Amino acid sequence: MRSAFLALAALGAAFALDAAAASAQSYPVYPWCAQYGSRGGATNCYFSNLWQCRQAISGNGGTCYENPFYGYGAAQPRERRRVRQN
């Protein structure tokens, strides 16, 4: 009974370590999204440029729009403040 409990505990620890490693992954955020059809249609945000997005919706209908989450992954450059010299 004790060996079964230890085996189960080891298995649980292995799953916990695996889940922790998976949560640390980052995925690329692409700048363009396609909304297929009308408002209730599917959305696809895996386009590197506007041309790819327009090709994907051609013949299907829909619109292309800028991904609202693009640009938040990387740190934005800070504005330099000018220090006034006396």
CA–CA separation, 37 and 65 (whole Å):
13
61-77: pLDDT as tens digits? 899 999 998 876 554 55
Higher pLDDT, 65 or 80: 65
Rg (CA), the chain: 24
Q: Which of 6-20, 26-40, 65-79 has the lowest mean pLDDT?
A: 6-20
Between CA 28 and CA 31 the distance in angstroms is 10
The pLDDT confidence band at residue 9, using thresholds 50, 70 and 90, is low
> pLDDT band at 4, cuts 50/70/90?
low
